[in-house]
Chain A
């Protein structure tokens, strides 16, 4: 498969931040050797899941070219994002990759009418020459999210509900007819009774508009509900990735197991299991700086090798797991095999 069959191809991306003072300080690897790709002609919902501080947002900034990788490459439609140099090329890229942010009330200025953003986007990306010509484009985008220009026109953000504002935010992203939407925690600030309509919307967009969606979240239940594939992140590394049914129904990596076990079930039948004690990482920086597997300090199945060398990516069935428990050494007893 050549590189151009891929809509998005992240190859061994590494992002390092320098923390501490001018002299001394230390390096924090926020994204650590991350690779994944999305196919060009098969739109899908790809979830990046992980706890706070796992590098999800840094990775999304990388994909939006808001940040350049320290090492590694991000290719969009076969083109390295680092080679985008001038404004018009960047605009062309922005037209194809659009973000949806977490808090709908912070996305829009409270002093500005929400439809103004939609018209601006349409004109800026050349979808229409002026405001009047943009009416059709804007209305189409709003129809796709179940709203109409009539409902939204001349309204300020506070006059719409959280769910509606978030739908307008998705409509804005749709105006330029993107190939990829990056949604960073799009439902965490939306009221519980309106949350599912946003989630359903992404599924509808994938099926009708052929848009791929990267859904960034820590909510595994909604991730299971809508996504096709999932990647679990821990301290900058993808520790397990694969089809969502496989990963969430039968997790392999001990961290994924812990994560799924910790999702509170909305039924009071399994309270005892959920109340079993777990150990938490004290500080994020400590785990980021850990040599070897980042989960070694909390892993119930930890081995000596986990603390020394970074575990390799192991292909098991249809998924990838970054764990020594699954390294294949059949003949000799490997240092990684549990006894």
Chain B
């Protein structure tokens, strides 16, 4: 059974200033499921709704963001949770950090610069479980970081003493203190260089393999998805363009946007001419009619301008939203 099932989420940012209302349709009719024991990748350009989707899934919905329709249901082994109708107290006491944890992009801004790392550990553990025995807690924290391959010294260091990659791995260590069922990683390696990126992603993969939980990995870097994710979802302008197992996304992509994303990636040892798409990503405050990709699509047809393509299943586990693709065609 799926760990999280997201049904037809419509989450908009609505602002009203001096009677002028503006609606940004950041996530518009998105449905998907996260299975236990997998790494699920979400790819897409900046401002395509990736972060809003995370906010909805993690129950972090604050005005002006509002969920207009849909549902997010968690199925933990002991109980089910309806994320959109949960009290803030229950979310804080029982779910956050214990079942769902979050790794953010800028680890420097996550860690308090004037406190040692161990103090941040202490804060988190104290808030969620309480620390009856300081000595025992320190021993557990040490065991935890060592298990993740970090040296014990990091606990007694200040954030500025650690390198960018080490800080990001500390942030991941913090997120996994309670062995959560779902780890949400939002662009965890974007600011890092390739060697450090590799180290950080290996750590995420190791943790996933160790505790068999689910990782929701959000990044715009397709090459990262190719190497880490089990399944990948491609988002474009607040909608799902394509979703499939990683092998299929890279070897047989069907949506023109996915095809472009993969073909435009430069590779060492290959120097064929790479081009950009015409136009720019659309504004979500005023998205194009019909298929939101039609203005930039090389295969645009008349129907694309007026009708929204449905997300159809072309084969088991492979869903595409494009008028060129017919249901069960493969």
Contacts and interface: CB of A to CB of B under 8 A. Distances in A.
Interface of A: 50-53, 161-164, 191-197, 199-200, 218-222, 224-225, 248-249, 258-260, 262-268, 270-271, 274-275, 277-278, 280-285
Interface stretch (B62-70, B76-84, B195-203): B195-203
Given A266-B265, A284-B163, A52 B192 contact: yes
A282 B162 contact: yes
A97 B193 CA distance: 27
A193 B196 contact: no
Nearest to B296: A193
A51 B196 contact: yes
B22 to A, nearest CB: 14
Nearest to A249: B269
27 contacts: A50-B193, A52-B193, A53-B163, A191-B280, A192-B220, A192-B222, A196-B274, A196-B276, A220-B268, A221-B267, A221-B268, A224-B267, A224-B269, A225-B266, A249-B268, A259-B195, A262-B194, A262-B195, A264-B223, A264-B226, A264-B227, A266-B250, A268-B226, A268-B251, A282-B153, A282-B162, A285-B161
Nearest to A281: B163
| The 9 nearest A-B residue pairs measured at CB | A161-B280, A51-B193, A197-B276, A264-B223, A218-B193, A221-B266, A225-B266, A266-B265, A262-B198
B121 to A, nearest CB: 18
A52 B163 CA distance: 9
A193 B276 contact: yes
A264 B276 contact: no
Contacts of A264: 194, 197-198, 221, 223-224, 226-227
B319 to A, nearest CB: 19
B289 interface: no
A195 B151 CA distance: 38
Contact of A193 (B45, B161, B164, B193): B45
Contact of A280 (B163, B220, B221, B273): B163
Contacts of B227: 264-265, 268, 270-271, 274-275
A221 B197 CA distance: 15
Contacts of A52: 164, 191-193, 196
Interface stretch (B30-38, B90-98, B172-180, B256-264): B256-264
A277 B202 contact: yes
B252 to A, nearest CB: 12
In this complex, the member of B220, B246, B266, B281 whose beta carbon has the largest number of chain A beta carbons within 10 angstroms is: B266
Given A52-B196, A163-B280, A268 B247 contact: yes
Interface residues of B, number: 51
Interface residues of A, dominant DSSP: helix
A200 B45 contact: no
B108 to A, nearest CB: 12
Contacts of B166: 280, 282-283
B205 interface: yes
B107 to A, nearest CB: 13
B188 interface: no
B191 to A, nearest CB: 8
Contacts of A50: 193
B164 A194 contact: no
Contacts of A195: 264, 276
Contacts of B202: 275, 277-278
Given A191-B280, A193-B281, 17 more contacts: A51-B195, A52-B192, A161-B280, A192-B221, A195-B264, A199-B266, A248-B268, A259-B194, A264-B198, A264-B221, A266-B222, A271-B226, A271-B227, A278-B202, A280-B196, A282-B154, A283-B162
B46 interface: yes
A283 B199 contact: no
A162 to B, nearest CB: 8
Contacts of A266: 222-223, 226, 250, 262, 265, 267
B85 interface: no
B250 A267 contact: yes
B277 interface: yes
Contacts of B205: 275
B24 to A, nearest CB: 14
Given A221-B267, A224-B268, A193 B163 contact: no
A265 B267 contact: yes
Nearest to B45: A191
Contacts of B265: 221, 266
A313 B329 CA distance: 60
In this complex, the member of B166, B191, B193 whose beta carbon has the largest number of chain A beta carbons within 10 angstroms is: B193
B287 to A, nearest CB: 15
A50 B220 CA distance: 21
Nearest to A50: B193
A264 to B, nearest CB: 4
A262 to B, nearest CB: 4
B45 A282 contact: no
Contacts of A278: 195, 198-199, 202
A192 B281 CA distance: 10
In this complex, the member of B165, B205, B227, B246 whose beta carbon has the largest number of chain A beta carbons within 10 angstroms is: B227
Nearest to A52: B193
B97 to A, nearest CB: 26
In this complex, the member of B202, B222, B268, B275 whose beta carbon has the largest number of chain A beta carbons within 10 angstroms is: B268
Contact of A283 (B161, B220, B269, B271): B161
A271 to B, nearest CB: 5
Nearest to B151: A282
Interface in B274-288: 274-277, 280-281
A316 B275 CA distance: 35
Contacts of B268: 220-221, 224, 248-249, 260, 263
A196 B221 contact: no
Contact of B269 (A248, A262, A280): A248
A192 B151 contact: no
A192 B261 contact: yes
Given A259-B195, A264-B221, A278-B199, A196 B163 contact: no
